[in-house]
Structure 1
Amino acid sequence: MSSATSGTPLYRRSRIRHAVAAALAAAAVLITTACSGTAGQTKDGTTAFQLTDKTPDATGDVDSFTWSIFAEPASIDYAHSFDYPPNQILANVCESLLRWNPDLTTSPNLASSYTNPNPTTWVYQIRPGVRFHDGTTLTADDVVASLRRNLAPETASVWAYPFRNVKSVDRTGPLEVTVTLTQPDSTFNKYLAASPGTVESAATLAKSGQDYGNPQTGVNCTGPFSFDSWTSGQSLTLKRFDDYWNPALKAKSGQVKFVFLADATTRVNAFQSGEVDGGWMVPPNAYAQLRDTQAGTLYFGRNTTVADEVVSNLKGPLGDARVRRALLMAVDREGILKAGAGGVGEVAHSLVTDNLWKDAPDETRDAILKDLPKHPYDPAKAKALAAEAGVNGQKIVIAISPLDSQTTIITQAVSQAATAIGLKPQIESLSAEKYTTLFTDPAAREGIDLFLTFWYTSITDPLDMYGSLQTGAFSNYGGWSDPAFDAAVDKAIGAYDPVEHTAANAEAHRIATRELPWLPLYTQPVSVFLGKRITGVQPSIAYLYYPWAAEIGAKG
């Protein structure tokens, strides 16, 4: 399912995070000014970062702005867009039935309302009067054609997983679509706020065929911007769609030009010079520099990403959960944060971020977060636990594609921890292309014990992570299997009641945190830089699906 973009390794299952730093020296903890939110704290109480819910409102429109992006998309076909470059563009051009908001809530969008009359039926009322960029009107037939693409084997959609329980997608009225499931699935409707719920013109899909989403054909959707042009190797331009249906998100800029800047230093220099007006995923080694610049402002926002070491070989010494626990306890995760992430982030105690429990009942949320096995940094205890499990000089192989110092620092720290508990680590450096195949080809993982991923979710539900670790799941790269975990995930998927859903999710959460099929390292906030002439964006991981560029306008 995973693919490389412009020769860079992708560090996630199929929307794998590209590690963005160019060269990191050990960094001091940063203090970053922001508008609102909560501050992360280091052990000595120093503020490391602060989350911003919303940057200052725009005071007016701008003719255009230029945005940096670290790689050129391979395609902007929504069925093949599962990574940062294509999704941050498509979020402004194509829309889904529902909308994932920057505060991680979900609301109606192209579907003005929906009902769930029984556990296996979802009925969507399609918003009337919405126009595609070619001027044609949205109908139920367009929704049916768009959703069915994810079911068609010939499409090879990277979003097939959310549709695994879909039996049929049917037009049941001029502006009504009914989805019938084979079994209850509490996540299906949530996924329709992300790319799985994207709606494209049925006529455009039929006309474009295999060329849909490429530089020549582009796309024809309903968002606040329309596709304008794509110069391969250089840039992609969007223009404001004046007939956009939602006045609250009408674009404040006449044009957005995305420029492809693969080199991190080049991107930072472009921020400083004003050559580009902004960009997501700021290189961590530039945080201090961009905090103090007169060229603009650095912001941090909500994220659902966890940096993990994937345990990809359970036949070796890491097959024993005690060894996995010992290794995690021997990793200096605070040190990694300071040296590899500019001091901006928090040590991760599980495979999902705390904000994914946003929809859990208030009375249980705190208990869920507290009732977890902890693996604090304790090299002496870790070594003793490893010895108890029979560790005595066994070799493990840690894969890396060292495109930047952040990934190198992480890998070296994990290697040092392995040595500290009595293992003999070997770091194997892979090319970008070979590293990417670790996420797609089991044969490529032969002989590899650990590899790094930056894993984010596309819905506000831990199941987006834990469903990937069920027995036999494509993204269960180590082949880990735990019957109790599988049962808990199945129960959570089938439970629509918030209390039952949360309880089952919490059980899966406890098992995964205890057994550690992957080793959680740290979380980082979303980063975004805005030049001095623009403002209005809401910093959040939702930028991958929410029309963030529409809110950017002139800074007063």
Structure 2
Amino acid sequence: MSSTRSGSPLRDGRRTHDHTNDRTHGRSRVHRAAAAVLAAAALLVTSACSGTAADKDADRATAYKITDKTPAATGNVDSFTWSVYAEPTTIDYAYSFDFPPNQILSNVCESLLRWNPDLTTSPGLAASYTNPTPTTWVYQIRPGVHFHDGTVLTADDVVASLSRNLDPETASVWANQYKNVKSIDKTGPMEVTVTLTKPDSTFNKYLAAGPGTVESAATLAKSGKDYGNPQTGVNCTGPFSFGSWTSGQSLTLKRFDGYWNQELKAKSGEVKFVFLADATTRVNAFQSGEVDGGWMVPPNAYAQLGSTEAGKLYFGRNTTVADEVVANLKGPLGNPKIRQALLMAIDRKGIVKAGAGGVGEVSDSLVTDNLWADAPPATREALLKDLPKYPYDPAKAKALAAEAGVNGQKVVIATSPLDSQTTIITQAVAQAATAIGLKPQIDSLSAEKYTTLFTDPAAREGIDLFLTFWYTSITDPLDMFASLETGAFSNYGNWSDPAFDAAVEKAVGAYDPAVHAAANAEAQKIASRELPWLPLYTLPVSVFMGKKITGVQPSIAYLYYPWAAEIGAKG
């Protein structure tokens, strides 16, 4: 759901943007963008599922709560089935930056650090690490860890795995997380040292996600370009090993009995991921018990699945914000006062009710509140005070727009017939534009052409606004804000603000939590005032589990945390 899927914004360019790396940076963004669009398409269907009317679902807006942990499993199960809205193109970690491959790989491969369901970070394949200088990170590799083929994890495997992200031939989607890396070296039998060209406060955090994935060096060398495909699979250290992959149908994982972490030893002997692209089909499969569960439940099925006897619907922590991207700052939306007026005229509460099944919260920020967990109390208090607010007020919005010179100018809103949520949002934004005196024109694009809005500047020509769902892959607002720096690949409207850039650069170089948070807070204040993107609402992670299984921890961390290992029998 974001723009590289709705995903984690990779820090792409800065004012000192290196154009020689554009292809690599662009590829990262391509994946994020595709994820955002395809995830949206998978999430929802325009018509109601199993005969439940969409308008009735809206009227029955689901009361929801965030669940940290579902009831613990009472025992093991032989197997369970899990629905995925699309088949991965590969499970090579260097190209996995989307919901389908990541929710599978998170149970098979592991990173140096671990992003937990509560959005904290803890040691993973690195038993410990130090930061002896601002440009040096030293990792002590955990001893006694075995790959699925029985070989033992070494520092050489770590160096080979991380180094792929630096190799232009690999063109990893995670290359941008390594943009400040000078070298990756084995500095002891079980020690790896990463040397940076300059301080980077997010580099170590990203090693709890895809950028920190470790694979067998021997497997990488042997598999070559076939690594991660249906015939070859992968050879990692997680609680499940790769079993089989039937293209177009399913992918199966098997419990790895030699797994090092007894606390996360898999409770299921097997997990079968079935590829179900149609949202109605997925919901019916939940109801019938054909599948035992799945992430990303279609919102217009919340009411239906919230009351079924076939299982239970849960909501968990997320880092996603739905935004309207301002793609043209040379038109009428180039005036920040008009952007402010437009946001005030959008009925965001109405969108949450009608488009998201009542599950979500209006947001005036481009990041979720839980990303500020490490900020000192004083900073958090200041955030609430300093954040500009845009309550729904069409009359005030119209007056502000008139003062700013709005007088019937045309704005083009790009959309795609992906789902009911997208349609509802687009209609609400168009109504708001009309309410402040603009003349909206809705351009409906195919899913493929919509995806190119995130990857090709030429595709955005003539487009003023388009929708994205944007999540972060680390617990840090900088993951979002760095995407809006001058020259960043994901800065789709070419917005530029020197004070914002200075705040982001200060946050990048600041390891001190207070300084880092203060710089992020300054960036948020500027972005929320200038509105290069219009924040609409936050939404939780959704997951459905059938009546036979339990144990999952609902959280966006499922993209990197071995969530399936905790699922077992329901008492």
Secondary structure, counterpart of 2:33 in structure 1 = coil
Whether contact under 8 Å (2:183, 2:196) holds in the other structure is yes
- 2:45 aligned residue (7, 18, 22): 22
Q: 1:39 matched to which residue of 2?
A: none
Following TM superposition, by how much is the alpha carbon of 1:29 offset from its aligned partner in structure 2, in angstroms? 6.1
SS of equivalent to 2:353? helix
Aligned to 1:133: 148
**In the alignment, which of 384, 391, 405 is matched to residue 390 of structure 1?**
405
| Whole-angstrom CA distance in 2 between matches of 1:15 and 1:146 | 24
Which secondary structure does the structure 2 equivalent of 1:103 belong to? coil
Matched-pair contact (CA < 8 Å) for 1:96–1:199: yes
**Count of aligned pairs:** 537
Q: What's the counterpart of residue 319 of structure 1?
A: 334
CA contact (8 A) 2:31 2:173 kept: no
Is 1:292 matched up with 2:307?
A: yes
Does the alignment pair 1:456 with 2:471? yes
What is the letter of the counterpart of residue 261 of structure 1?
Answer: L
Check the 8 A contact 1:354/1:369 in 2, yes or no.
Answer: no
Q: Does 1:443 align with 2:458?
A: yes
Describe the SS at the equivalent of 1:550: helix
> Counterpart of 1:484?
499
Aligned Cα root-mean-square deviation (Å): 1.6
Name which of 238, 242, 250 aligns with 2:257: 242
Residues 11, 453 of structure 1: 8 Å contact kept? no
Q: How does 1:420-435 map to 2 (within 5 A)?
A: 420-435=435-450
1:448-471 C-alpha deviation (Å, 9 max, x unpaired): 111111000000000000010000
Looking at secondary structure, tell me which structure has more helix per residue: 2
- The AA in structure 1 aligned to 2:566 is E
Q: CA deviation at 1:11?
A: 9.9
- Equivalent in the alignment of 2:221: 206
Aligned to 1:149: 164
Check the 8 A contact 1:306/1:353 in 2, yes or no. Answer: yes
Counterpart of 2:344, as a letter, is M
Query: 1:306-362, CA deviations, whole angstroms, 9 ceiling, x for partnerless residues?
Result: 000111111111111111111111100000000000001100110000000011112
Q: Distance in 1 between matches of 2:466 and 2:126?
A: 40
Measured after TM superposition, the shift of residue 363 of structure 1 is 3.1
**Contact kept? 2:139, 2:192, Cα under 8 Å:** yes
Distance 1:292 1:178, change over 3 A: same
Residue 370 (structure 1) shift:
3.1
- Which AA in structure 1 matches 2:176? Y
**TM-aligned CA distance change 1:15 to 1:120, over 3 Å:** farther
Q: Secondary structure at the match of 1:186?
A: coil
Give the whole-Å Cα distance in 2 for the aligned partners of 1:185 and 1:96: 19
Superposed displacement of residue 174, structure 1? 1.3
Asked if 1:68 is matched to 2:68, the reply is no
Aligned partners of 1:12 and 1:453 also within 8 Å: no
Is the CA contact (8 Å cut-off) linking 1:228 and 1:239 kept in structure 2? yes
SS in 2 for 1:149: helix
State which of 486, 497, 517 in structure 2 corresponds to 1:471: 486
Change (3 A) 1:258 1:178: same
Instruction: Write the distance in 2 (CA, Å) between the matches of 1:31 and 1:407.
Output: 17
1:251 alignment partner in structure 2: 266
Aligned position for 1:101 = 116
Amino acid at match of 2:191: E
Unaligned runs of 5+ in 2: 7-29, 49-53
Whether 1:509 and 2:531 are equivalent positions in the alignment is: no
In the TM superposition, what is the alpha-carbon distance from 1:14 to its structure 2 partner?
5.5
Q: Is the 8 A contact 2:32 2:97 kept in 1?
A: no
What is the identity, as a one-letter code, of the residue corresponding to 1:409?
Answer: I
> Could you say if the C-alpha distance between residues 194 and 14 of structure 1 is closer, same or farther in structure 2, counting changes exceeding 3 Å?
farther
Q: Which amino acid aligns with 1:120?
A: T
Matched residues in 2 for 1:253 and 1:327: separation?
50
Q: Distance in 1 between matches of 2:570 and 2:4?
A: 39
User: 1:15 deviation in Å?
Assistant: 4.0
Return the TM-score normalized by structure 2.
0.92
Q: Map residues 340-419 of structure 1 onto 2, 5 A cutoff.
A: 340-419=355-434
Give the AA of the match of 2:335: D
Structure 1 residue runs of 5 or longer lacking an equivalent are: 5-9, 33-47
**For residue 16 of structure 2, what is the aligned residue in structure 1?**
none
Question: Shift of the alpha carbon at 1:369?
Answer: 2.8
**For 1:108-149, what per-residue CA distance to the aligned partner results, in whole angstroms no more than 9, with x for missing partners?**
000000000010000000000111111111111111111111
Is 1:13 aligned to residue 36 of structure 2?
no
Q: Equivalents in 1 of 2:222, 2:413: separation in Å?
A: 47
- After TM superposition, the structure 1 stretch with the greater mean CA deviation from structure 2, 436-445 or 100-109, is 436-445
CA distance in 2, matches of 1:487, 1:329: 28
Output the CA distance in 1 between the equivalents of 2:407 and 2:226: 56
SS at match of 2:165: coil
Alignment of 1:48-67 (within 5 A): 48-67=63-82
Listed as ranges, the matches of 1:210-289 within 5 Å are 210-289=225-304
8 Å CA contact retained: 2:345, 2:433: yes
Distance 1:51-1:552 versus aligned 2 partners, 3 A rule? same
Identity %: 82
Q: Which amino acid aligns with 2:543?
A: V
Q: Which residue of 1 aligns with 2:564?
A: 549
SS of alignment partner, residue 525 of structure 2:
helix
Cα separation, 2, equivalents of 1:312 and 1:237:
41
Q: Which runs of 4+ in 1 moved over 4 A?
A: 1-4, 29-32
2:107 to 71, 76, 92: 92
| Displacement after TM superposition at 1:31 (Å) | 7.4
Q: Give the Cα–Cα distance (whole angstroms) in 1 for the partners of residues 5 and 480 of structure 2.
A: 20
What's the CA shift string for 1:66-94, capped at 9, x where partnerless?
00011111111111111111110010001
CA distance in 2, matches of 1:16, 1:222: 29
Q: For 2:111 and 2:301, how far apart are their aligned partners in 1?
A: 34
Structure 1 length-normalised TM:
0.94
* Partner in structure 2 of residue 190 of structure 1: 205
